[in-house]
Amino acid sequence: MTIKRYTPALLILGLVFSPLSPLPAVESVIGEMQEAAAAFLDSLPPELKDKATFSMDDEEERVNWHFVPREREGVGIKDLNEVQKAKLTALLAAGLSARGHTKVDRIMDLESVLFLLEGEAHRDPDLYFTTLFGRPTPDGTWGWRFEGHHLSLNFTIVKGRFLAEAPHFWGANPAKVPVGPTKGLRALKEEEDVARQLLLSLSDKQQEKAIIADKAPRDIYTGAKERVSPLPSAGVAASEMTARQREVLNRLIDVYIGNMPADLAGKRWNQLRQAGLDNVVFAWAGSKEPGGPHYYRVQGPTFLIEYDNIQNNANHIHAVWRDFDGDFGRDLLREHYEQAHP
């Protein structure tokens, strides 16, 4: 399901707006997403449409996310014909940049590598599922999820004008492909390399603060929790970094933000600036050397990036973006319901 267009990630500087006052460009993205979601649903026969859709009020299923192989609700790629797959591609294109869509394709393709290595039937690139919550109407409140092993992309739209894009989980096993036609491929290359570049750019004194443990944790601390709170603030803050180090830190954040279309990336950057980029903290645990088990996090007042590469001899990545208030659109939905039921 390769994307047909390229949308570069932009860092839109100097614009300040409330998350509840949408930019026209973001509304345009939401409109494209709504049209793509409606077209995807319309392409499905009744039995698949029933599998794909849940009520927006089904809070249990809407936050029922995970990144491991398991039974999932929704419509699987295996269920779709070529026309329906094309409609799904258009929906993913609305929610992702070209860079992000390429990562999705590569992560899904890693299931074929795991099948080659393990021979297990559940290693299948068609075992990815699309679920919609509510009806994707121009002024509606609805959401959608695309999920499977090592992928969970969650979007919430409120009143056809406001959009939340979290949690987003990205994983890679193997992190570096050891065999087969894609040998040497690293699906999440920048997630590792830019973070290590930042760590090695720090002075000895800065590294003493940044390295919070000699041993990496067994996995990301937040796992697949429905809601997360800030982790301990240990690490080195952006305010303690040089201009060059802050540039690398911003590049690392953009590795994650750049998975979104340019207009959404710009919105996200403005939200981070409003909250205070000086307050962003970088922390590392484990080996500094490539090939060794390692972990890092980037945490700001409103968001958390977690990354871990320790399993399978440090060749298995878990990486996630969480919003403390915005996961599953909680902040947007709270205000929406308060306005609807004062």
Which stretch of 20-34, 104-118, 134-148, 276-290 has the lowest confidence by average pLDDT? 20-34
Dihedral of CA 246/152/42/62: which sign?
Answer: negative
User: Torsion-angle region of residue 260: left (phi > 0), alpha (psi -120 to 50) or beta?
Assistant: beta
**pLDDT above 80: residue 23:** no
Residue 8: predicted pLDDT:
36
Token couple for 328? 């599953």
Across the range 145-164, mean pLDDT stands at 97
| 3-class DSSP state of 236 | strand
Indicate the range of 12-16, 252-256, 299-303, 323-327 predicted with least confidence: 12-16
Q: Is residue 69 part of a domain?
A: yes
Tell me if 170 is assigned to some domain.
yes
Q: What is the pLDDT of residue 337?
A: 66
Q: Is the pLDDT of residue 340 over 90?
A: no
Residue 11 lies in a domain: no
**Residue 315: pLDDT band with limits 50, 70, 90:** very high
Q: For residues 46-53, give the mean pLDDT.
A: 98
* Burial tier of 119 (Cβ tally within 10 Å: 0-12, 13-18, 19+): exposed
φ, ψ of residue 157 in degrees (nearest 5): -115, 130
- Examine the fold and report which residue of 130, 145, 179 is the final residue of a domain before the chain moves on: 179
Say if 4 falls within a structural domain. no
The tens digit of pLDDT for each residue in 234-257 reads 999 999 999 999 999 999 999 999
DSSP H or E run through 262: helix 262-275
Helix locations, 43-81, DSSP H: 46-52, 59-62
The C-alpha atoms of residue 75 and residue 79 are separated, in whole angstroms, by 7
* Each residue's pLDDT tens digit, 159-185: 999 999 999 999 999 999 999 999 999
Q: Which residues pair with 147 in a beta bridge?
A: 129, 152
Work out the mean pLDDT of the chain and round it to a whole number: 92
Expressed as residue numbers, the domain containing 113 is 24-179
Count of residues making up the chain: 342
Query: Is 291 inside any structural domain?
Result: yes
**At 24, is the pLDDT very low, low, confident or very high (cuts 50, 70, 90)?**
low
Report whether pLDDT(35) > 60.
yes
Q: 299 - beta bridge partners? A: 281, 304
* 282 and 312 housed in the same domain: yes
For position 109, what pLDDT does the model report? 97
When divided into structural domains, the chain yields a total of 2
**Residue that terminates a domain, selected from 150, 179, 208:** 179
Of all residues in the chain, the percent with pLDDT exceeding 90 is: 89
Of 179, 207, 227, the domain-final residue: 179
Task: Give 331's pLDDT tier (boundaries 50, 70, 90).
Answer: confident
- With respect to residue 14, please indicate whether it lies within any of the assigned structural domains: no
- Is there a single domain that holds both residue 126 and residue 232? no
Question: Is 166 inside a domain boundary?
Answer: yes
Torsion of CA 129, 135, 224, 208, to 10 degrees: 110
Ramachandran region of residue 180, left (φ > 0), alpha (ψ -120 to 50) or beta? left
